[in-house]
Amino acid sequence: MAITIKNEKHIQSMREAGKINASVLELLKSYIKPGISTKELDKIAFDFIKSKDAIPSFKGYGGFPATICASVNNQLIHGIPSDIILKEGDIISIDVGTYKNGFHADAARTFPVGNISNEAIKLIEVTKQSFFEGIKFAKVGYYLYDISAAIEKYIENNGFSVVRDYVGHGVGKNLHEDPQVPNYRPLGKKGPKIIKGMTLAIEPMVNVGAKDIKVLQDGWTVVTKDGSLCAHYENTILITEEEPEILTL
């Protein structure tokens, strides 16, 4: 495992990318309402990122055709934007990456579309809060899987399931770098020691039903096997001497 530690120059570039990334998600939030298509959201994101002299990290990555991943209801991640129209009561997870000055930032949010069910509200809140429970341990002196264990505990204590097939990751010059950051503690393991200068994309992925998922025939879209609702929350963080710095908020 080759974990790259970032210097001050790298970090400054990642802050810039992170700021754009956070702004894209805030902008999209203002457009998410019944009647808009996920393709329209994708164009808004593409135009905004380009206007900041940055590059959408996902477009063309491994052949992915769009700027954002737009995953609706029982779609967990990697949903391809299309003519699908959002309707009242849906939830949508938007994942987006931004590349600026040679470095990437990566973040995701799950948004309500109009009025949603109490279960969906709780799912979105628990998924988001599990990230913040996890980063309480994103400090020098802890081990990586301390973050993972805190995320897992919070999600399961709230009656939801932790997806195990997909994980968070290091991020920097490459969109995906070492180490992998699972949202559960691998049995009997600590993971690498957390050290200053690490940059991590921590991203809880949570199902209302069972943890099992499957990939659709498009080769990208990941859905819950039982058709239950799911949510995704992600930020890129920097390990510092003290509290972690969230680069995408």
pLDDT tens string 143-163:
999 999 999 999 999 999 999
Question: Is the per-residue pLDDT at 1 higher than 80?
Answer: no
- Bridge partners (DSSP) of residue 95 are 69, 108
Question: Pairing relation of β-strands 205-207 and 222-224?
Answer: unpaired
- Bridge partners (DSSP) of residue 161 are 207
- The domains located in the chain, with CATH, are 8-246 (3.90.230.10)
Under 8 Å CB-to-CB from 162, ≥6 apart: which residues?
151, 152, 155, 156, 183, 184, 204, 205, 206, 211
pLDDT tens string 83-112:
999 999 999 999 999 999 999 999 999 999
Helix axis angle, 118-134 to 144-157, nearest 10°: 160
Residue of 40, 48, 58 whose CA lies nearest to 20? 48
pLDDT tens string 106-146:
999 999 999 999 999 999 999 999 999 999 999 999 999 99
What is the rounded distance in angstroms from the CA atom of residue 179 to the CA atom of residue 127? 22
- Overall pTM > 0.95: yes
